[in-house]
Structure 1
Amino acid sequence: MTGRGRKAVLPPVGHRVEPSLAPESLVVTVINQAGHRRTFDFSGLPVAEAMRRSLAASFAAQSRRWNTHGTALSYWDGLLTFARFLSGLEHPPQDLDGLTVAMLKRWRARHIKTSTGKYTLGKIATLLRRDPRLGSGPVAEELARRVPRPDPSRRSYGEEEREQLLMVARRQFRTAWMRIRENTQLLERGRAGELAEGSREWRISQVLDHLAHTGDVPRTVTPGGYTIVTNHRILGGSTAERTWGRLFLTRGELTALGVLLTDRFGWNLSVYDRMPAPTTAPSIGERTTVTYQVQVEKRRAGAGCWFSTENVTDSGADSPGRLITQALEVTVHGRALAARLAPGADLLMTARTRRAGLAARDLDRPLSVGPLIFGISRDDAKVWARRHDLGGSPFQRTRRTTVTREGRPLQHTQGTHESVYVLPDEHVQHASQAVFEHGAQEALEQARSSVFTGRLTERPDPGHQETATADCADPSTSPWPAHDGSCGADFLLCLACPNAHVHPGHHARLARLHQQLHSLRSALPDRTWDARWREHLLRLEDLRDKIGPAAWAAALERAGDTDRTLVRLLLNGDLAP
Structure 2
Amino acid sequence: MLDNDGLVVRHANTAGRIVVYDFSLLPVGAAMQRSLAAVFAGSCTPRTWASHSTGRTAWRYVRRFADFLSTMQRPPADLDEVTVAVWNEWVMSRPATGAGRLDVVSVARLLRQDARLQSGAAGEALARRSRKPASSVASYAPAEFDQVRLAARRTFRAARLRIADNARHLQRWHNGEFREGGDDWLLGEALECLARTGDVPRYAPKGIAAAGVVHRYVRVLGGQGGDRTWQRLFLSLHEATALGVLLLAEFGWNLAVISSLAVPQASPDPGEDGARTYRIELEKRRRPAGRQFETRNVTDDGAGSKGRLITEALEATRFARAAVQELAPGNKLLIVWRTSVAVRGLADLDREPPLGPFRFGIETRAAMAWARREGLDGSPFQRGRRTVNALYRREPGQNSQATHDSTYVLTDPQVRHDALPVIAAGAEEAAERARRAVLVAEVRDQADPGDLETATADCHDYTNSPYPGASGSCAASFLMCLGCTNARVHPGHHARLAHLHHALDNLRTALDPAVWHGAWSDTFARLDDLKSKVGSGPWAQALERVMDADRAIVGHLLTGELDT
Report the TM range for the smaller structure's normalisation.
0.7 to 0.9
Q: For residue 406 of structure 2, what is the aligned residue in structure 1? A: 419
In the alignment, the residues of structure 1 paired with residue 91 and residue 464 of structure 2 have an alpha-carbon distance, to the nearest angstrom, of 65
1:319 matches 2:299: no
Evaluate the alpha carbon distance shift between residue 481 and residue 434 of structure 1 in structure 2; reply closer, same or farther with a 3 A threshold: farther
Q: After the TM superposition, which residues 336-351 of structure 1 pair with which residues of structure 2 at under 5 Å, given as runs?
A: 336-351=322-337
User: How much does 1:105 deviate?
Assistant: 2.8
In the alignment, the residues of structure 1 paired with residue 468 and residue 252 of structure 2 have an alpha-carbon distance, to the nearest angstrom, of 55
Evaluate the alpha carbon distance shift between residue 399 and residue 476 of structure 1 in structure 2; reply closer, same or farther with a 3 A threshold: farther
1:56 matches 2:33: no
Contact 2:156-2:239 at 8 Å conserved across structures: yes
In the alignment, the residues of structure 2 paired with residue 427 and residue 345 of structure 1 have an alpha-carbon distance, to the nearest angstrom, of 41
Evaluate the alpha carbon distance shift between residue 46 and residue 535 of structure 1 in structure 2; reply closer, same or farther with a 3 A threshold: farther
Question: Out of 227, 246, 258, which is 1:272 matched to?
Answer: 258
Evaluate the alpha carbon distance shift between residue 360 and residue 476 of structure 1 in structure 2; reply closer, same or farther with a 3 A threshold: farther
Q: Deviations over 1:3-48 (max 9, x none)?
A: xxxxxxxxxxxxxxxxx11232311111100000001122222333
Letter in 2 for 1:440: A
Q: Deviations over 1:125-144 (max 9, x none)?
A: 11111111112111111111
Evaluate the alpha carbon distance shift between residue 423 and residue 194 of structure 1 in structure 2; reply closer, same or farther with a 3 A threshold: same
User: How much does 1:226 deviate?
Assistant: 4.7
**Partner SS for 1:373:** strand
In the alignment, the residues of structure 2 paired with residue 453 and residue 138 of structure 1 have an alpha-carbon distance, to the nearest angstrom, of 62
Evaluate the alpha carbon distance shift between residue 471 and residue 29 of structure 1 in structure 2; reply closer, same or farther with a 3 A threshold: same
In the alignment, the residues of structure 2 paired with residue 476 and residue 439 of structure 1 have an alpha-carbon distance, to the nearest angstrom, of 37
Q: For residue 229 of structure 1, what is the aligned residue in structure 2? A: 213
In the alignment, the residues of structure 1 paired with residue 41 and residue 410 of structure 2 have an alpha-carbon distance, to the nearest angstrom, of 38
Q: For residue 558 of structure 1, what is the aligned residue in structure 2? A: none
Q: Which moved more, 1:46-55 or 1:525-534?
A: 525-534
Letter in 2 for 1:315: D
Evaluate the alpha carbon distance shift between residue 345 and residue 270 of structure 1 in structure 2; reply closer, same or farther with a 3 A threshold: same
In the alignment, the residues of structure 1 paired with residue 161 and residue 206 of structure 2 have an alpha-carbon distance, to the nearest angstrom, of 33
Question: Out of 14, 22, 25, which is 1:44 matched to?
Answer: 25
In the alignment, the residues of structure 2 paired with residue 341 and residue 213 of structure 1 have an alpha-carbon distance, to the nearest angstrom, of 11
Letter in 2 for 1:422: V
**Partner SS for 1:62:** coil
Q: For residue 71 of structure 1, what is the aligned residue in structure 2? A: 54
User: How much does 1:202 deviate?
Assistant: 1.8
Letter in 1 for 2:323: L
Evaluate the alpha carbon distance shift between residue 185 and residue 522 of structure 1 in structure 2; reply closer, same or farther with a 3 A threshold: closer
In the alignment, the residues of structure 1 paired with residue 528 and residue 233 of structure 2 have an alpha-carbon distance, to the nearest angstrom, of 76
Question: Out of 75, 80, 101, which is 1:97 matched to?
Answer: 80
User: How much does 1:487 deviate?
Assistant: 8.3
**Partner SS for 1:54:** helix
Q: Which moved more, 1:95-104 or 1:241-250?
A: 95-104
User: How much does 1:520 deviate?
Assistant: 8.5
User: How much does 1:251 deviate?
Assistant: 0.9
User: How much does 1:472 deviate?
Assistant: 12
Q: Deviations over 1:345-392 (max 9, x none)?
A: 132111112223331111112111111111112222111112212111
Q: Which moved more, 1:413-422 or 1:532-541?
A: 532-541
User: How much does 1:570 deviate?
Assistant: 12
User: How much does 1:440 deviate?
Assistant: 2.4
Q: After the TM superposition, which residues 142-157 of structure 1 pair with which residues of structure 2 at under 5 Å, given as runs?
A: 142-157=125-140
In the alignment, the residues of structure 2 paired with residue 311 and residue 192 of structure 1 have an alpha-carbon distance, to the nearest angstrom, of 36
User: How much does 1:488 deviate?
Assistant: 8.7
Evaluate the alpha carbon distance shift between residue 246 and residue 474 of structure 1 in structure 2; reply closer, same or farther with a 3 A threshold: same
Letter in 1 for 2:226: A
Contact 1:452-1:543 at 8 Å conserved across structures: no
**Partner SS for 1:169:** helix
Identity across matched positions, percent: 42
Evaluate the alpha carbon distance shift between residue 261 and residue 494 of structure 1 in structure 2; reply closer, same or farther with a 3 A threshold: closer
Alignment TM-score, normalising by the size of structure 2: 0.78
Contact 2:497-2:527 at 8 Å conserved across structures: no
Contact 2:83-2:122 at 8 Å conserved across structures: yes
Alignment TM-score, normalising by the size of structure 1: 0.77
Q: For residue 236 of structure 2, what is the aligned residue in structure 1? A: 250
Contact 1:454-1:495 at 8 Å conserved across structures: yes
Gaps of 5+ in 1: 1-19, 457-464, 545-564
Letter in 1 for 2:23: F
Evaluate the alpha carbon distance shift between residue 28 and residue 284 of structure 1 in structure 2; reply closer, same or farther with a 3 A threshold: closer
Contact 2:270-2:276 at 8 Å conserved across structures: no
Q: For residue 17 of structure 1, what is the aligned residue in structure 2? A: none
Q: Deviations over 1:427-456 (max 9, x none)?
A: 333333233223323444566679899999
**Partner SS for 2:281:** strand
1:114 matches 2:100: no
1:189 matches 2:189: no
Question: Out of 329, 332, 341, which is 1:355 matched to?
Answer: 341
Letter in 1 for 2:134: D
User: How much does 1:288 deviate?
Assistant: 4.6
In the alignment, the residues of structure 1 paired with residue 291 and residue 212 of structure 2 have an alpha-carbon distance, to the nearest angstrom, of 50
Q: Which moved more, 1:223-232 or 1:178-187?
A: 223-232
In the alignment, the residues of structure 2 paired with residue 517 and residue 105 of structure 1 have an alpha-carbon distance, to the nearest angstrom, of 68
Q: After the TM superposition, which residues 85-484 of structure 1 pair with which residues of structure 2 at under 5 Å, given as runs?
A: 85-111=68-94, 113-217=96-200, 218-221=202-205, 223=207, 225-231=209-215, 232-283=218-269, 286=272, 288-403=274-389, 404-445=391-432
User: How much does 1:253 deviate?
Assistant: 0.6
User: How much does 1:474 deviate?
Assistant: 10
Q: For residue 8 of structure 1, what is the aligned residue in structure 2? A: none
User: How much does 1:335 deviate?
Assistant: 0.8
Evaluate the alpha carbon distance shift between residue 327 and residue 483 of structure 1 in structure 2; reply closer, same or farther with a 3 A threshold: same
Gaps of 5+ in 2: 444-449, 509-519, 536-544, 555-564
**Partner SS for 1:331:** helix
Question: Out of 11, 20, 30, which is 2:11 matched to?
Answer: 30
Q: Which moved more, 1:86-95 or 1:488-497?
A: 488-497
Contact 1:356-1:372 at 8 Å conserved across structures: no
**Partner SS for 2:212:** strand
**Partner SS for 2:204:** strand
**Partner SS for 1:299:** coil
Q: Deviations over 1:320-357 (max 9, x none)?
A: 32222221222111111111111111321111122233
Evaluate the alpha carbon distance shift between residue 186 and residue 534 of structure 1 in structure 2; reply closer, same or farther with a 3 A threshold: closer
In the alignment, the residues of structure 2 paired with residue 88 and residue 454 of structure 1 have an alpha-carbon distance, to the nearest angstrom, of 77
Evaluate the alpha carbon distance shift between residue 56 and residue 573 of structure 1 in structure 2; reply closer, same or farther with a 3 A threshold: same
Q: Which moved more, 1:103-112 or 1:399-408?
A: 103-112
User: How much does 1:145 deviate?
Assistant: 1.2
- The Cα RMSD (Å) is 4.4
